[in-house]
Amino acid sequence: MKILLAEDQAMVRGALAALLSLEGDFEVIQAKDGNEALALLKQENFDLLLTDIEMPGYTGLELAAWCQTQKLPLKVIILTTFGRAGYIKRAIEAGVGGFLLKDAPSESLIDAIAHVLKGKRIIEPELAIMAVGECDPLNDKERRALRLASEGRSTAEIAESLFIAEGTVRNYLSEAIAKLHASNRIDAARIAQQKGWL
């Protein structure tokens, strides 16, 4: 079975790759960030995408949503440090088969892979309950602009990254600030990050 492992922390990525090679008949291809993972998904066929959420470039949730829109015949498991309600809800909407926290025992990961490959969904009950919480008010365009703003990018830099006009960036950020009842773009990014909406 061919697994694409997308994880930006080299030590964690190496440990996961070693664990998978010891535990099963897995061919593991590693990606150091979301952009590299997306390029590999476009070039090769995989049975499973095992991905972190927060990475440079595309996030794990964006990769999962891309796989869903492309109707790729692979399963997705999110492995993260953060059990935020917004993340879990977005993962479910993106058709993710498993959502596990990184502090789970290694056997849980191997079991989850086996179950997800059989078409089952594995999400810890407490995390699933969290997903029923608040609705994410941001749309994808507002989320992208806000994420870039949270990295300290200027309006001009955000516009260049998203291939849109500066005025459009200002509109997206203003909408996000209003929806989150924030005082400015930094406050909006902080609120969205805490909720798992970013």
Q: Give the tens place of pLDDT for each residue, 35-70.
A: 999 999 999 999 999 999 989 889 999 999 999 999
Report the 10 Å Cβ neighbour count for 117: 16
What integer is the mean pLDDT of 19-44? 93
Q: To which H or E segment does residue 197 belong?
A: none
Closest by CA to 4, choosing from 119, 138, 39, is 39
What integer is the mean pLDDT of 15-21? 91
Check whether 24 has a pLDDT greater than 90. no
Q: Phi then psi for 36, rounded to 5 degrees?
A: -65, -40
The more confidently predicted of residues 103 and 144 is: 144
- C-beta of residue 84 within 8 angstroms of C-beta of residue 112: no
Confidence band of 15 (pLDDT split at 50, 70, 90): very high
Confidence band of 126 (pLDDT split at 50, 70, 90): low
Check whether 83 has a pLDDT greater than 80. no
What integer is the mean pLDDT of 139-167? 93
pLDDT of residue 130: 63
What is the chain's mean pLDDT, rounded? Answer: 89
- C-beta of residue 139 within 8 angstroms of C-beta of residue 179: no
